[in-house]
């Protein structure tokens, strides 16, 4: 089985992105008003923060593990899912008028999806070279 090749900078940038997403979700658990507009008394704010953390922390941890693992078999689908989740955050941020969520989500989606594209192109080149 071919080991996926990524540049060290791609690994670092994606790891930082996963860490940032995990940090924001942890901060939201502590103080939901950091990531949600409106008062802390707003209905659903705590539930939103918990749902955000329930997604961001395990996904970020899985991505960090895969990025630092010697064998990166599951990295491509994890990057695609991570990018898709960030695009979802962009849509939510746009609907709720949260500029930081739109900008941060856009940057992280670009990083994860561009890296996924790099991996997919590397796979296709490797497959063509062995054919």
Model confidence over 73-131: pLDDT tens digits? 899 999 999 999 999 999 998 998 888 889 999 999 999 999 999 999 887 665 555 55
Residues of 33-69 as b/e, b for ≥16 C-beta within 10 angstroms? eebbeeeeeeeebeebbeebbeebbebbebbbebbee
- Cα–Cα distance for residue pair 114/108, rounded to 1 Å: 10
Predicted TM-score (pTM) of this structure: 0.84
Confidence of residue 2 (pLDDT cuts 50, 70, 90): very low
């Amino acid at each position: 089985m071919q080991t996926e090749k990524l540049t060290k900078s791609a690994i670092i940038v994606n790891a930082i992105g996963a860490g940032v997403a995990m940090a924001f979700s942890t901060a939201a658990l502590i103080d939901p008003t950091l990531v949600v507009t409106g008062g802390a008394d707003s209905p659903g704010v705590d539930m939103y923060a918990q749902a955000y953390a329930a997604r961001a922390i395990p996904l970020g941890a899985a991505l960090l593990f895969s990025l630092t693992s010697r064998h990166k078999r599951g990295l491509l689908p994890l990057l695609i899912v991570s990018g898709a989740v960030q695009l979802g955050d962009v849509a939510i941020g746009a609907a709720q008028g949260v500029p930081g969520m739109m900008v941060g989500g856009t940057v992280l989606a670009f990083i994860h999806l561009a890296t996924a594209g790099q991996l997919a192109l590397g796979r296709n080149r490797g497959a063509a070279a062995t054919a």
